[in-house]
Structure 1
């Protein structure tokens, strides 16, 4: 198993944890915000579970499948984090289509709400794209 395949398995675990946040007592506040920062709904949970299954299959399938997952997932989640930072909503859960833009806000809440997608997406895209350069 290659390092990229192992990374996909790490993403499987991380995404399954993200999908479970609403269902662990004490992790959401009275407003339904996980860690008091961001709201997760059934669409977010479905997105996280679907992404987790994709990561698991890619990680178990092959190095090439893992690299493809990391690049596509990484760019999608990174872009979602950027949109979330600038508009308050992402596109993966269709939030930018169902809510009016909240505009740019340089608050810690906005940063922390989008940091998971920025970090997960950035690391995944970097790992996948780095592998292409190394094998080319």
Structure 2
């Protein structure tokens, strides 16, 4: 198993944790905000589970499948994080299509809500394009 495949398995775990945040007692406040910062709905949960399963399958299949996952997932999540800063909503959960733009904002809440997508996306793009762990 290559480093790229192992990284996909790490992404599987991270994304499943993200999908479970709403269901762990004490992590959401009375307004339903995870950590008191952002709301996750059924669409976010479904997106995280689907992404996690994609990561798992890619990681178990092959280095090439893992690399493809990293590149495509990375671009999608990185873009979603950028849209989050500019509009307050992402496109992966269809938020930009169902909500009016909240405008560009670098408040702490907006940063904390979007940094996970930016970080996961950037790491995945970097790993995919540098082809870490490739077999020679």
Q: Same fold (TM over 0.5)?
A: yes
Q: How many residues align?
A: 134
Aligned residue number for residue 131 of structure 1? 131
Say whether 1:98 aligns with 2:103. Answer: no
The list of structure 1 runs, each at least 4 consecutive aligned residues, that deviate by more than 6 angstroms after superposition, is none
Aligned residue number for residue 18 of structure 1? 18
* Partner Cα separation in structure 2 for residue 118 and residue 21 of structure 1: 19
What's the TM-score, normalizing by structure 1?
0.96
Aligned residue number for residue 39 of structure 2? 39
Cα deviation 1:102-131 (Å, max 9, x = unaligned):
001120110001011000001001100111
Higher RCO structure, 1 or 2 (CA under 8 Å, sep 6+): 2
Aligned residue number for residue 3 of structure 1? 3
Aligned residue number for residue 80 of structure 1? 80
SS in 1 for 2:118: helix
SS in 2 for 1:53: helix
SS in 1 for 2:31: coil
Say whether 1:69 aligns with 2:44. Answer: no
**Structure 2: tracts of 5 or more residues without a match:** none
Aligned residue number for residue 60 of structure 1? 60
**Structure 1: tracts of 5 or more residues without a match:** none
